[in-house]
Chain A
C-alpha cells in the first residue's frame, strides 16, 4: 500500500511538471506550482520524513506561491511564446543528460534498502545515541540543533543574508521605501466581509499553532524553521487582508530587521557561551550542570533563534515586495 501511494503521488508530480512546461501564462503556472508543493509534501509524508513534509507544507504550498504571485502582480501574467531558432537544442541536451543520469541510477542501491551506504555511515550512531546524549525523542531535531548545529548556523546565516540582499535590491536608499504607503488599498473597503471576520478569528490560532510547533519540536515534528514560516504566513495573511500599512503598524520594518539579526545573534552567542565554558563551539553540555539538561536548554535557545530569524526574514521580504508593488502602482 505504501508503495502504491508512493507511485501514484510521484506520477502526479511528473504530470504536474509536464503540465508546467505545456501551460502558458504565469497565473496558471503558479497554481500548478502550488499543487506541486502539496504533492511533494504528501510524498515526503509517505517517505516518513515528517519534519521535511512539515516544512514543505508551510513553504511549498504557502509562502512560495504567495511571493511568486506578488511578483506576477507587478510584471503581469503574460508569457511570450518563445520563438527560438534552436528549439531542438534544449530538448536534445535535456534528453541526453537525462539518459545519462538514468543509466547512472542503475548503480545505486535499491530503494529502501537498510544497508545502503547512505544509511550506514553516521546515521545509525545518531539514532542509537540520541536518547542517551541529547535526551529528546525527535532525532531530526537532535541532529539539526545539536550534532550538526554548525551546519544549521550556516543555513540560518544564508537565510539572513538572503533577507539583507532582498532589502538591498528592493528598498530605495532614501528612506521612503519602508512601507509607508498611504494610498488606500482598493480592496480594503469591506472590513466587515465574511473573509475578514473569519480570517481575524483564525489568525490568532495560526500564531498559537506556530508557537506550538516551535516549542514542541523536541518531541514531535516541528522546530524553528517550520514555526518561523508559519508565523510569517499569519502576518502575510493579515497584510493581504488589511493592506501593508496595517501590518506595518503591528511590527515596523526596523523592528523586523533588528529581530532578524537578533535571531542569528542568539544562535551564535550560544556557541560562544559553550566556548567560554571550555567546550567546543555549540557544545551545549556546559549550559547546565547536567550535560543532558544543557543540551535541552541549548536546543530550545537555538531553535528559538532560528525561529525568530526565519520569521522576521520572511516578514521583511514580504514587506519589501508589497512596498515595491505599492510604489509601482502609484
Chain B
C-alpha cells in the first residue's frame, strides 16, 4: 500500500479532529468559531482531494488536454466557502450580542450567570 495515496485523507481526518477538539474543549466562543472554521476547511479539502485526478488539468477546457480534474466538487465547495463566511458572520453577530448581554464570551462564565439567575 502506498502511503502517499492516502496521505490527503489522513490530513483531512487530522484537521477535522483538531477543529472538533477546539470546538468541544475551548470555552471561548470566538475560539469555538475558529475551530468550526478548521472543521469546515477539512471538509473542503476532502472534497477537493476526492475530485483530483492524477495528471489532470484544471477544469477549463483547452486544446490538447485529455484529463481534467472533476469539476463537480469544485462547484460544491466554491459555493460552500461563501456560504461558510456568511454563516460564520451570523455566529459572530450572536457572539457580539452575547457579549452585550453577559459581558463575557467565556462559556463557563455565561453558564455561571445563567445558574445564578
Contact = CB atoms under 8 A, between A and B. Distances in A.
In the complex, A touching B, CB below 8 Å? yes
A181 interface: no
Interface string B72-107: 111111111111111111101111110110000110
A321 B105 CA distance: 17
B116 interface: no
Interface stretch (A45-53, A187-195, A264-272): A45-53
B5 to A, nearest CB: 4
A208 B88 CA distance: 28
A51 B82 CA distance: 12
Interface residues of A, number: 102
Contact of A225 (B4, B79, B96): B79
A175 interface: no
A111 B9 contact: yes
B52 A111 contact: yes
Name the residue in B5, B33, B74 with the highest tally of chain A Cβ atoms < 10 Å from its Cβ. B74
A17 B44 contact: no
Given A48-B57, A52-B78, A75 B22 contact: no
A274 interface: no
Contacts of A113: 53-54
A21 B28 CA distance: 12
Dominant secondary structure of chain B at its interface with chain A: helix
Interface in B26-74: 26-28, 30-31, 33-35, 37-38, 41, 44-45, 48-54, 56-62, 67-74
Contacts, number: 285
Given A20-B22, A101-B16, A317-B89, A118 B50 contact: yes
Nearest to A164: B90
A60 interface: yes
B17 A71 contact: no
Given A112-B5, A119-B51, A105 B13 contact: yes
B17 A151 contact: no
A119 B50 CA distance: 8
Dominant secondary structure of chain A at its interface with chain B: helix
Interface residues of B, number: 85
B111 interface: no
Contact of B97 (A7, A84, A151, A170): A170
B34 to A, nearest CB: 6
What 9 pairs between A and B have smallest CB-CB spacing?
A: A110-B5, A162-B86, A112-B54, A98-B17, A105-B9, A90-B25, A155-B79, A17-B18, A137-B61
15 contacts: A20-B18, A29-B30, A40-B45, A48-B56, A75-B30, A75-B95, A94-B17, A105-B12, A111-B7, A112-B52, A118-B73, A127-B59, A155-B79, A155-B80, A321-B92
Given A7-B7, A20-B35, 18 more contacts: A14-B11, A29-B31, A33-B34, A44-B48, A50-B60, A52-B44, A63-B85, A64-B37, A87-B25, A94-B21, A101-B16, A110-B5, A118-B51, A139-B59, A139-B60, A155-B83, A321-B92, A321-B93
Interface of A: 3, 6-7, 10-11, 13-14, 17-18, 20-21, 26, 29-30, 33, 36, 40, 43-44, 47-52, 55-56, 59-60, 63-64, 67-68, 70-72, 74-75, 79-80, 82, 84, 87, 90-91, 93-95, 97-98, 101-102, 105-106, 108, 110-114, 116, 118-119, 122-123, 126-127, 130-131, 137-140, 143-144, 148, 151-152, 155, 158-159, 162-163, 165-166, 169-170, 219-221, 223, 225, 228-229, 310, 313-314, 317, 320-321, 324, 328
